[in-house]
Amino acid sequence: MTTRLTADQYDILKELINIGVGRAAGMLNAMLDTHVHLQVPELFTLTREQLETELNTFGGDTISVVRLTYSGGFSGATSLIFPPTSAAKLVSILTGEEHAVDDDDLDALRIGTLTEVGNIVINGVMGSIANVLKQRLHYSLPTYIDDTIKALIALNRFKEDATIVMARAHFRVEAWQIDGSIVLWFEVGSLDALLDAIDELNRDVL
């Protein structure tokens, strides 16, 4: 059973992610000469099955993922997901490589680059969330995975009733339109803790 978000919770969570993504875009722009624009147009909660259906709309059997897991009082994983061609294209644009635009394969160096981009975006989002939670978490190192959608979902070992928050973002790097999604997945109870914190924040603001 998925946790339903109230309109306020939805708005605040969306805003938190938006702030995090905005900060990440600022960092990328500062780091690179290219102007990277990140936006969060959509936010929705999904079951595991719905996530699989959603990821299948990326248009390929495999996907590229930069994944950060965390544990402690609050557990889960945040992933930045790209269709492989978008991942390769993003790296090519960021590094100014000429040849790789039509090339799906990522070598060790380009995997490192994509991991850093994912790291910046995920850290931006997690920074926002951590601010609200006011708890220190134990984070894993960010990792890059290139696998089938099924294998990726299996990797997360979702519980039957896990709630997954998915934010579908669009990266726009100058003339290039690149699709990517930020998927937040929380252990049982963790989302509730987050929503409680959000509610508290909401009350404080009000």
- Of 34-42, 115-123, 152-160, 197-205, which part binds another protein (CB under 8 A)? 115-123
Binding mask 149-178 for another protein (x = CB under 8 A): ------------------------------
Applying CB under 8 A, does 141 fall inside the site for another protein?
yes
DSSP the chain: -PPPPPHHHHHHHHHHHHHHHHHHHHHHHHHSSS-EEEEEEEEEEE-HHHHHHHHHTTSSSEEEEEEEEEESSS-EEEEEEE-HHHHHHHHHHHHT-SGGGG-----HHHHHHHHHHHHHHHHHHHHHHHHHHT---EE---EEEEEEHHHHHHHTT--TT-EEEEEEEEEEETTEEEEEEEEEEE-TTHHHHHHHHHHHHHHHH-
Distance of closest approach, residue 120 Cβ to another protein, in angstroms:
7
Distance of closest approach, residue 50 Cβ to another protein, in angstroms:
27
Applying CB under 8 A, does 14 fall inside the site for another protein?
no
Rule CB under 8 A: which residues touch another protein? 26-27, 30-32, 68, 70, 91, 94-95, 99, 107-110, 112-113, 115-116, 119-120, 122-123, 126-127, 130, 136-137, 139-142
